[in-house]
Structure 1
Amino acid sequence: MDLLKTVFGIVVSSRKSNVCIMVNGQKVNDYAISNDMVGFNQLLGDLKQVTKP
């Protein structure tokens, strides 16, 4: 069974956050989100997609 190693980093500032998502050492996404429910829901949706087998 292959195991996925998922790592994500978030740099938070007052108006936005920069997000980087890596799977098995490869960057799969790198973007900025707004610090509100719209941005947080975008991040949550992306993280759910990355962790699906």
Structure 2
Amino acid sequence: MAAKKKIRSPELEEGHLCYICGKEIHGDHVYIKTRRRSELHIHFECMPGKQQVN
């Protein structure tokens, strides 16, 4: 019995959810791979310590 290969479509890989706010990410974002091999995707606006000072 041969193992079946999973085919991933590129459309499914493009959609990520923000780890902080939970909204879908479109465009540029921060990708973090932790020591435990989990993957975090975060909006630039949601990054801690990146508040704008006016």
Same fold (TM over 0.5): no
TM-score by length of 1: 0.23
Structure with bigger helix share is 1
Q: What is the TM-score with the length of structure 2 in the denominator?
A: 0.23
Larger Cα-atom Rg: 2
